[in-house]
Structure 1
């Protein structure tokens, strides 16, 4: 599914700093986005809390406090928090961004992993947790989804402090259980409390899953899994994976003891045990290179030991000394040559051009450099369908094999080509159309308007307005003057109509009063009529109602008619027409709008004063 159609954050800039490029992941509590920090010109990961959390003041306060604590935690295996903030109803963290996959992805793709590889993943995880525990921080949600294996071979732990912030919010009262059931310690399930030993328990479960390819407890519902955490003991991994060394069985069983006091005191203590177990495996099986973690190849050279005490330095030996050393030197040269040849031909001399199309150009450049390319950013190209700074193509194209270190040229989109709406005021319609066309735009339609400043047949303005930057090829509306037309003031109150005409420079002394059923003071006719062509000196004669011969209100004429409640009409003259309409509607009135001069301000309203509730009010602008 195209997230650009469903995620309103894409393309937005949070806090005026983080331009959201794409969504990386979405979870139950937050979504993670790839964003460009426009201030420091670097790619970051931005975690945005879901609105239900952002609307909870208690959560926001705790979230800010936890973010500050995590930001102070500096460790190579912890994803660093750069910044925290709010933008409207968005509460967010900005963090280091590392391309890669989660440990959950590895487990899903590979299933269980060998014992040594499991430890080589867990040791940096425990190092990160140990540093946090020493700083007084508890993770509370250790699980494979929160362990990131980066493309360059590093292990990073994410989401420190988030669970604690949520735990302190009102969300827990609406049924959200903090943490993930499959990795929760018994004391978290029964009492809802967690200390550093809860992280140790979760790390033990993660190690079990790495060794066996599955979680220790499975059930039909989360509650059945929680029950087993409380009442059962985690089985030894070797029951499912017989090749598991006894040291790792012992490490898992110790870390997942139901009694917190029987577990390692914290992650640092479990780290010591894990390192010792890894050393035991190294002694038993010799050198090893882990295939789990991506990164540069590792080469181990084993040389035979040389014992000087075994060498006979007697006369015969001295006579043979030169040939022996010559042969030894020759052997060393041969060994070195073989070793160099093996190393040389084992290196990746050729690279396949990756697919960088549709990625942000900064991210694409970073990825290409990590793969071993020299990168050149070519001249951007206008594109009406692809957003600015998104890769359109690479040269060479994706899939081609080139020598390592070759130049890869990245061509990005400059976005749609823009044009500036030209000034057409006082041009003839033909000349105005020509000027719009020369600017790379088209005239979609022509609209007529009255004007006391622009002669008939000449351009008044465009829509969009002059100077606005729009996509090249866009259409504009051309507004042409029909000259001076008589303003229509019928329906206005007499004093408002005279004030309006006087401001426009028209004589206002021609007024005839007649008996009429309309409210007293209402303009019921005018000469010349509204919309007629006129000169600036033309006199407009108004016919004004004196009111009816009998009482105006029907209940005054017929006692059987109930008198309604009267309310005062708010005076909305000179306010914005939309604001005025909303204000009157909110007060319970019907609203009718009439355009006289085409401005945004209300120049007249009728009726005014006290009227029955629900009366229709006419506004002129």
Structure 2
């Protein structure tokens, strides 16, 4: 595609950014919103390949569901003259692979900061049921401000779909591929966590743990070889930090972290003094019931031992030539009486006393799965309470009461504490405070602070004159808050001052025009609003009437429209046996904010009853629709899908 080509009447192509196996990426300018964007265009030689088109569309659907400061935003998706295109946020900078080569070695706090941002993004994806399947440094973009954003959801899947897109084909980059993916198994959240462990190893060691001449040899190492110790590359690495890698990359997915949030929580304290002396992580032993080869000698010895009775005497295996003299055992009638009494007493106790069961470990499970596991153990879920958690994602079980391993009466109720998600921290107004005081308060709240110096003629040196988080807004723990601190007046003299106008309800273009006229900068952020029209200003900082110096930056929050709801509808599609005894041809249609009812959302062949999960995104007050057509006949339909 040539420069200055106009795509969809609004995106003016500027220059190529890169080429991939599936698509070419261009830098373009959105003429309507006056911003740079990146345009991903499906390669012309692949536009007639249904599998590739599905992958391309899957990326659009997956990324559009996810809202996170650490995930590249999708703005638009469409088709023009047979060309499939995807319009995304443009991130000026480089990918994490190039960043690592340029800055290696990284300090340990820097590594933790980078990994925390990646984990936050993966946690959001997993909360929406989306598995990335191709996490690697090349798919993590580093912005000029140091912020990381995950891109390329082209081979991601909904968590209850198969990880294979075609027979005997494994998707994902081999150096970051989990053992189960290398064996052609299903990708799960734990597969992504394995890839995250490999990325963490690379950030610390400057190289991947497994390499080889062929992709097959590398995949075999992931499946069979022990994870190399990152401390062999750098003995100064703390053992708790290496333990995060070892647990994330355990061969058995059950030994890995239950969630990306759990991995982030463990990583956050890896350098803490109280964790010094921590033992090296070792996964659980393999199943003792696995098939084993038993030597013949052991079998013979066991056979000999079977010829002994309970008192340890050897029983003759052949007729003895020496007669055995019988002895009369005194007191034997009394022995049988005592034994009978004990058996009767034991039976009565078992009949009269209530049967008791061990409480299973349901920590980290969804509520539905926890209820099923409790039922399998002859127990039931009881009172449920909500609690914020840094470790467990929303909807997961934090703990049970009684705790796992305790015994309870059969069919008794087990109380569960359910995670309501990560806690958010409200940020106060620190303008006018000293930077030292503001930083101390923010660190005490569990937030991180960045300082930006700016000349100011009306604020004493060292005083906070601006902040990137508006007062009253809430952010997650360990998030960065940037404070603009006065560096005092310029030596050449005082700058011109500007009185802030009232922008509430004004358009973004009006605000930008005012800022340019008065030689100040404006930072826009989006927020969903049920009351303010899309594209209009919700609030600003500083407030109307405040004085600003030329060159300073103020913040304005723009309405992104009414709140959206994203949810999944699980649908059971029945199989109808036909005369030819062939599979049913099933087409599924979905209509919501992003999907058109005229286009097939999913096309599949089924030979048995099949359950699918349909994703919906709807505006507040609106509803969605779906229709299922089997062998040309509509068998399921709902024109009012709300997710309630």
TM range (shorter): 0.3 to 0.5
TM-score normalised by length of structure 2: 0.42
Q: Which has the higher contact order (CA 8 A, sep 6+)?
A: 1
Q: Which has the higher helix share?
A: 1
Under a length normalisation based on structure 1, what TM-score does the superposition of the two structures give?
0.44
